[in-house]
Structure 1
């Protein structure tokens, strides 16, 4: 039981070391992730379209 208690004390100590992002940083990160997802979606849509056209020409 003392090992479990020691584990949770260690977890608690480590959580106190974390520096959480500010609200402004979080908004910035969210916008960056959304932009990246949109860019990747457009890229994969274009690749899929090209591959579909090539397969259509071959078949």
Structure 2
């Protein structure tokens, strides 16, 4: 049980050393991540649609 309590004491100690982002930075990072995810989803959706249409065309021959 002593190892477990020592582990959590170390966790708390390390968490105090963490440099947390300010609200403005966090908002900016969140917007960057969300816009990247949306862009990649649209990109891969278009690529998937193109490949599907190409395969439909090829199989219809």
Consecutive unaligned residues of structure 1, counting only runs of 5 or more, are: none
Three-state SS of the structure 2 residue aligned to 1:16 is helix
Q: How does 1:1-59 map to 2 (within 5 A)?
A: 1-59=1-59
Shift of 1:55: 0.8
Consecutive unaligned residues of structure 2, counting only runs of 5 or more, are: none
Q: CA RMSD in A?
A: 1.1
Three-state SS of the structure 1 residue aligned to 2:6 is helix
Q: How many residues align?
A: 59
How does the TM-score come out when normalised to structure 1? Answer: 0.87
